[in-house]
Structure 1
Amino acid sequence: MNTTAPDNTAPARPHTAIDAVADAYTDTLIRLNPSFATELGLPGHETEYPDFSPAGLAGFADAARGALAALEGLEPADDVDAVTLDAMHERLGLQLEFQASGWDAAELNNIESPAQQIRAIFDLMPTDTAKHWEHIAGRAHHVAGAIDGYIESLRTAREDGKISAARQVRIVIEQATKHAAADGYFAKFAADARTGTGALPAPVQSALDAGTADARVAYSRLAGFLETELLPAAPARDAVGRERYALASRAFLGATVDLEETYAWGVEELDRIIAEQEMVAAQIRPGATVEEAKEILNQDPARQLQGTAALQAWMQGLSDKAVAELAGVHFEIPDVMKTLECRIAPTDEGGIWYTGPSEDFSRPGRMWWSVPAGEDTFTTWAETTTVFHEGVPGHHLQVATATYRRELLNKWRRSVCWTSGHGEGWALYAEKLMQELGYLKDPGDHMGMLDMQRMRAARVVFDIGVHLELAVPERWGSGDWTPDKGYGFLQQNLAISEGQLKFEFARYLGWPGQAPSYKVGQRLWEQIRAELAARPGFELKEFHTRALNIGSVGLDTLKRALLG
């Protein structure tokens, strides 16, 4: 691996006492969570996992308390320090609240819990050399210990009455069973193993076969535990209630919002987007409904892709074009940040996501698309805005900028601090910005962007409505929200495949507060920009540069930093 720093010749600001606390805390996190080191591309922890047991979770809480104690009495040396202090108090304080709630030990859902994290880390491990595969084999041997620690935490949480809904438990049983299968992820991973020059040396292949076999047994053990011990005790009710939801909302936004007001705004925003879609539908064919216009787009051969290879090539081409045209004109994009890889994910569970570059940019930022089994046809009009969301000017520009600004930001600000409402809100802001910059003039691409915005507005309504069991808006039904009513509502508002819809439905139910953070985050980003735009001398490119150089912090912290 190239371990040289990216070419960044800007003069470094002095390293302060607050920076020292933040950096020390980051080093502690890397020690406690070796998978995080892999995410950052840092050597030395390639075969290890974090401790997912209650003792391991307590270690993370102790680290947060220690960092907060170390910050006591420190005064900011400059504006960068002031943001660090604000952000660390907010992020670490919420982490301790979550740990005190007991739900940290109970985390289980279909997308973002240890059940998925233990497997997903392999996606970020390099595979070019025999040494890389030795690391993979070593980590595979440690899957069992990670799974056992996770089971211990789930068992402890169960005894405390904290268990995810039965729907989530059943889904993870299915996922774990697939990973354990003779034709599942780990078996295929070992069977398909190659270096950049060919087959693995026999001893390495043997170690990999043994490690992945152990991993399959471990996932089978997890499925058995979930089936026999957790599922019988799991609640049928999906709604998590106001107290747990309010904490989750704060964690994902880094801001406190009025949930009822936000719900009402989501209803209004959904109506507004639908009205705009109706206007665009008339451009596609006069008199067409939104559904008819989308069917016209779906049947247009020029807007169709057949197969995942075509999807990957199209994603890459559109991403490269956006980077080339935006760099230096609307955004500062250093050369080292211009590489963004678009990949088809090795799983078929659904979802699209971004993973950031390594600290030295030897592993570039990557856009991943997990295609549900059986899906083989894709439409470009529906997905153009997704490429902008995940790539440039969305997540890649945001995450890679923070990683690059090592002369300005400490390690915690560059690599650790991530707030969904900030990050996902920026990505939705980026979608709308591309329309503002003239990249969505084609009515089909415009309709696709509106479909994505409509989905995010519908998620605000669904997520808050179902988890707080609020009243259904008259346009969409009657009575209070239930998951079944919510599924029908999503069918009407999410223009995605049935496989993706089922995945998203389960995701919202099992990961409360996360889905609304996209649209609510966008709302808060746009409010900040509007307030700054009303001041003399506002310049859009300068606003973007200043905002991105802060890194991903809570949205209340961002507001204080930008508005003063």
Structure 2
Amino acid sequence: MTQASTPRPQSAIDAVADAYVGKVAELDPLAASAIGLPGYDHLMSDLSPAGHDARAELDRSTLRDLEALAPTDDVDRVTLAAMRERLGLAVELHEAGEPLVDLNVIASPLQGLRDIFDIMPTGTVEAWENIASRLNLLPGAVDGYIASLSEAARRGNVPAIRQVREGVTQARELAGAESFFTSFVHGKDAAAVLDDSSACSLVRKELEHGATAAREAYDRLAAFLESDLAPQAPEADGVGRERYGLFSRQFLGATVDLDETYAWGVEELARIVAEQTAVAQEIAGPGATVEDAVARLEADPKYQLHGTEALRAWMQETADQAIADLDGVHFDISGPVRTIECMIAPTQTGGIYYTPPSDDFSRPGRMWWSVPPGVTEFGTWREKTTVFHEGVPGHHLQCAEAVVARDTLNSWRRLMCWVSGHGEGWALYAEKLMDELGYLSDPGDRLGMLDAQRMRAARVVFDIGVHLGLEAPQEWGGGRWDADKAWPFLKANVNMNESFVRFEYNRYLGWPGQAPSYKVGQRLWEQARDEARTAAGASWDAKQFHARALALGSVGLDVLRDALA
């Protein structure tokens, strides 16, 4: 059990950080909804060049405010270092024009304007009024987004044609008569709240209007991408060393030697393949390949789940059991964090992801599984490690404990600061930790963990190799990496169906620096732990280290190592 503590007095630096969160929420209501701040769900973000300029000016003015302040304690010192790193880099990215050219297959405004509705409250008439308002404001946001992409193109910065074409496909799906927007406003959640009263009839009318407006806006976006942007889009997927260096820092919160990291990725992939082969032979006998072991596991009924409800129930049971087992033994888990909700996502992209709780925990932390169309069979051997990654001790423990820490951390540290390398690196570290604790001792589950680690190592090689145009190892064809050479490499190292691998392939090509942040983040977490263990000597306490590290919240990995040193 977490012991009650005396709240830490707010410092001047905390006041600046808290004020920054409020100002970001005003400028970017979608971000406010994402972190669960009430009062913004009826509003929409400005995605135009002017909107990006306003957010950059807020970053600059906040940095100026921080310059005049001195830290009062270690919490302040971390806040100051983390805000300088995050906001300073955001200004660099803005000055390079990067926010204007934000288009990829997974995490750009094209998806964000639709995905926000997955986490908005739906249990009251007021909640549906907010949804109706936001739907009716969505066309303006799309127009702003188009203006930003147009301005980026005017400056000579256009997304690669692969991302534009995939964007056209996704936008057209959302523009169709049977798109998400149609099913959302006609779904059971709306029906459960909106009766036939005159007030609810008006809300339903606004929802219908908003859904139509949203579909029409996505139709405009598809037409713009196809007719205006595609003719200007370059064929090459790689972004080059200079831009990649910015993106790498964005996702890691650390500066790494990209050539050394690439070489490490090659070695790490080979190490994991060797370990995976050894486990495969444990499963399927001497001389067996990984493919032989996978075939045996896929045919074994004890690892099989049938249907999405069985998948959801298994996720929930596995996540709940991990919390019960680890609490008080390896971690002290706060009361609200002991609840996680496992969900089948309304999308069908194949992704698995986590959304943190709202500030007041009225929306719990949730693990989402986006099941592709037609997929009804699932193997637990492959996915147990994923539940630990998304749940406890992975993202849920990490993110929800930060939300709880209002007695120590300001709202920016608790709710708004998210660094992919810190978060995803911790989640991979958590998978490996569960293996070390014996939770993946079953050979099938362990093969699944190694399978996931292998994919993450392959992404380091793929992502840095293609975007920097580095030399490929001879075993993967030699010569310079490009998208064509990378496809067979990825298929050989990602043990998923081809549609999933193709989605991941497009994702890495369009979101440079993000995919390696998982495995590189894990590496930096392990280095920080090893340094702390060496310094502690005989007094080393893993539980204490993890508590201290997680109490920092999500910060850049350079800031993390300094704070733990």
Does the pair score TM above 0.5?
yes
After superposition, residues 60-79 of structure 1 pair within 5 angstroms as 60-79=55-74
1:44 lines up with 2:34 in the alignment: no
Matched position secondary structure for 2:343: strand
Residue of structure 2 equivalent to 1:3: none
Q: CA deviation at 1:199?
A: 4.7
Residue of structure 1 equivalent to 2:269: 270
Residue of structure 2 equivalent to 1:474: 474
1:176 lines up with 2:175 in the alignment: no
List per-residue Cα deviations over 1:95-133 (Å, max 9, x = no partner).
011001111101000011111111111001111122211
Residue of structure 2 equivalent to 1:225: 224
Residue of structure 1 equivalent to 2:279: 280
1:541 lines up with 2:543 in the alignment: yes
CA distance in 1, matches of 2:3, 2:207: 39
Matched position secondary structure for 1:550: coil
CA distance in 1, matches of 2:438, 2:346: 34
CA distance in 2, matches of 1:473, 1:311: 39
CA distance in 1, matches of 2:357, 2:363: 5
CA distance in 1, matches of 2:3, 2:21: 22
Q: CA deviation at 1:144?
A: 0.4
Q: CA deviation at 1:470?
A: 0.8
CA distance in 2, matches of 1:326, 1:96: 41
List per-residue Cα deviations over 1:458-483 (Å, max 9, x = no partner).
00000000111111112222211111
CA distance in 1, matches of 2:36, 2:86: 23
Percent of aligned positions with the same letter in both sequences? 57
Matched position secondary structure for 1:41: coil
Q: CA deviation at 1:61?
A: 0.3
The 8 Å contact of residues 125 and 193 in structure 2, kept in 1 or not, is answered as: no
CA distance in 2, matches of 1:98, 1:306: 46
CA distance in 1, matches of 2:8, 2:189: 44
After superposition, residues 290-439 of structure 1 pair within 5 angstroms as 290-439=290-439
Matched position secondary structure for 1:363: coil
Tell me which of 547, 551, 554 is aligned to 2:553: 551
Matched position secondary structure for 1:367: strand
Residue of structure 1 equivalent to 2:516: 516
Matched position secondary structure for 2:551: helix
CA distance in 2, matches of 1:500, 1:80: 42
Q: CA deviation at 1:545?
A: 0.3
Q: CA deviation at 1:285?
A: 2.3
Residue of structure 2 equivalent to 1:4: none
CA distance in 1, matches of 2:515, 2:36: 28
Could you tell me which amino acid in structure 2 is paired with residue 264 of structure 1?
Answer: A
The 8 Å contact of residues 8 and 404 in structure 1, kept in 2 or not, is answered as: no
Tell me which of 26, 30, 43 is aligned to 2:21: 26
List per-residue Cα deviations over 1:134-157 (Å, max 9, x = no partner).
111111101101101101100110
Residue of structure 2 equivalent to 1:507: 507
Tell me which of 555, 560, 563 is aligned to 1:561: 563
The 8 Å contact of residues 381 and 444 in structure 2, kept in 1 or not, is answered as: yes
List per-residue Cα deviations over 1:266-286 (Å, max 9, x = no partner).
000000001111111121122
CA distance in 1, matches of 2:269, 2:405: 37
Root-mean-square deviation (Å): 1.2
The 8 Å contact of residues 177 and 223 in structure 1, kept in 2 or not, is answered as: yes
CA distance in 1, matches of 2:292, 2:440: 20
Could you tell me which amino acid in structure 1 is paired with residue 554 of structure 2?
Answer: S
Could you tell me which amino acid in structure 2 is paired with residue 525 of structure 1?
Answer: W
The 8 Å contact of residues 114 and 150 in structure 1, kept in 2 or not, is answered as: yes
Tell me which of 136, 159, 165 is aligned to 2:154: 159
Matched residue count: 557
CA distance in 2, matches of 1:122, 1:198: 16
Matched position secondary structure for 1:341: strand
Relative to the length of structure 2, the TM-score reads 0.97
CA distance in 1, matches of 2:194, 2:22: 36
Could you tell me which amino acid in structure 2 is paired with residue 190 of structure 1?
Answer: V
The 8 Å contact of residues 34 and 45 in structure 1, kept in 2 or not, is answered as: yes
CA distance in 1, matches of 2:531, 2:3: 32
Deviates more, 1:155-164 or 1:202-211: 202-211
Q: CA deviation at 1:10?
A: 2.0
CA distance in 1, matches of 2:167, 2:375: 22
The 8 Å contact of residues 129 and 195 in structure 1, kept in 2 or not, is answered as: no
The 8 Å contact of residues 388 and 430 in structure 1, kept in 2 or not, is answered as: yes
Residue of structure 2 equivalent to 1:242: 241
Q: CA deviation at 1:456?
A: 0.3
Q: CA deviation at 1:198?
A: 5.3
The 8 Å contact of residues 29 and 60 in structure 1, kept in 2 or not, is answered as: yes
Residue of structure 1 equivalent to 2:204: 205
Residue of structure 2 equivalent to 1:254: 253
CA distance in 1, matches of 2:17, 2:550: 19
Relative to the length of structure 1, the TM-score reads 0.97
Structure 2 unaligned segments of length 5 or more: list them. Answer: none
Q: CA deviation at 1:9?
A: 4.0
Q: CA deviation at 1:11?
A: 1.0
Deviates more, 1:8-17 or 1:299-308: 8-17
List per-residue Cα deviations over 1:385-440 (Å, max 9, x = no partner).
01100111000000001110000000111111111110000000000000011100
CA distance in 2, matches of 1:156, 1:249: 24
Matched position secondary structure for 1:361: coil
CA distance in 2, matches of 1:193, 1:118: 22
CA distance in 1, matches of 2:191, 2:51: 36
Could you tell me which amino acid in structure 1 is paired with residue 438 of structure 2?
Answer: G
After superposition, residues 101-140 of structure 1 pair within 5 angstroms as 101-140=96-135
The 8 Å contact of residues 128 and 196 in structure 1, kept in 2 or not, is answered as: no
Residue of structure 1 equivalent to 2:487: 487
The 8 Å contact of residues 406 and 414 in structure 2, kept in 1 or not, is answered as: yes
CA distance in 1, matches of 2:37, 2:515: 30
CA distance in 1, matches of 2:151, 2:8: 46
CA distance in 1, matches of 2:358, 2:561: 28
Deviates more, 1:195-204 or 1:305-314: 195-204
Tell me which of 8, 15, 23 is aligned to 2:10: 15
List per-residue Cα deviations over 1:198-219 (Å, max 9, x = no partner).
5543222221111111100011
Deviates more, 1:56-65 or 1:7-16: 7-16
Q: CA deviation at 1:344?
A: 1.1
CA distance in 1, matches of 2:511, 2:62: 28
Structure 1 residues 128 and 195: alpha-carbon distance in aligned structure 2, compared to 1, 3 A threshold? farther
The 8 Å contact of residues 394 and 426 in structure 2, kept in 1 or not, is answered as: yes
Q: CA deviation at 1:43?
A: 2.1
Matched position secondary structure for 1:400: helix
CA distance in 2, matches of 1:435, 1:426: 14
